[in-house]
Amino acid sequence: MGLCNAASRVRRTAVTVTAVTALLATSGCGSFFGSFIGRSQAQDIARINVSSPELRDGKPLPREYSCRGTQGSPPLRWSSQPLSQAKSIAIVVDSHTPSEAAVYWVLYNIPATTTELGPNAAAEPPEGSGQARVTSGKAGYEPPCKEKGSYRFTVYTLDGKVDPGKGSSLPEILKQIADQTIARGRLTAVDIE
C-alpha cells in the first residue's frame, strides 16, 4: 500500500511540475519554462497514443490550421489502456521555446468515452465541455502564427472534472488539469507549412 501511495505522489509531483512550468510560461517566464522541457516525464502515468488524419508527429503544422488558414482546430484521435478511474479528457495545445511560450487551446471536461474530435471542434465542442481563455485572452482555439516553433497537442485523461469556477484564470485551470492527470499523450508539429 505504501508503494502505491509513493508512486501516486511521484506521478502527481511530476504532473505538477509540468503545470507549474506552464503557469510560468503563461506569466511571461518563457525562458525559465524552456529550461524545464523534458524533465517532468513521470514513468507511472499511463500513456495515451495521439494521432490525427491531418497532423504527423515531428512534421509541420498544415497552414490551414494556423492563423493563415480557415480550418480552426485540427482533428485529433487518441487511445490508451482502459482506465476505470477516468472521468474526463482535457486537451491543451501549446508551444514553448527558450524565449517564448504560449497556450493556444484548452478544452476540458470532454466525456471520458470520447476518443476523437473532428476538425474545428473548438467551434462546436463536445456537450458538457468547456474552453479556457488562452494566452491571447481568447476562449477557444487560437491558431498559431509563428512559422518556426514546436506546437504540442497534448491529451490528458483525468480522474475528475475541471471545476473552473467563475472567472478562473488559465493557470488555475491548467493546475486543475495537472492535479487530476492519470494518463497523457502528445503529438508535436514542428514549424508551420
Q: What is the mean pLDDT of residues 88-97?
A: 92
What integer pLDDT is reported at residue 14 of this predicted model? 42
Given a cut of 90, whether residue 120 has pLDDT beyond it is yes
> DSSP assignment, residue 122?
T
Percent of the chain whose pLDDT exceeds 90 = 67
Given a cut of 50, whether residue 13 has pLDDT beyond it is no
Give the Cα separation of 181 and 7 in Å (integer). 14
More confident residue, 154 or 26: 154
Given a cut of 50, whether residue 82 has pLDDT beyond it is yes
pTM of the complete model beyond 0.85:
no
What integer pLDDT is reported at residue 167 of this predicted model? 80
Per the structure, how many domains does the chain have? 1
More confident residue, 130 or 28: 130
Confidence at 21, pLDDT banded by 50, 70, 90: very low
Containing structural domain, residue 9:
2-190
pLDDT one-digit tens code per residue, 29-63: 333 233 222 334 444 789 999 999 999 999 999 99
Region label for 28, one of left (φ > 0), alpha (ψ between -120 and 50) or beta (otherwise): left
Q: What Cα–Cα distance (Å) separates residue 5 from each residue in 8, 9, 17, 135?
A: 5, 6, 18, 35
pLDDT one-digit tens code per residue, 94-106: 998 777 899 999 9
pLDDT one-digit tens code per residue, 147-177: 999 999 999 999 999 998 888 899 999 999 9
Average pLDDT, the chain: 82
Contact by Cβ (8 Å): 157, 125:
no
50: cell is 495521439
CATH of residue 56's domain is 3.90.280.10
Give the largest CA-CA distance in the chain: 53
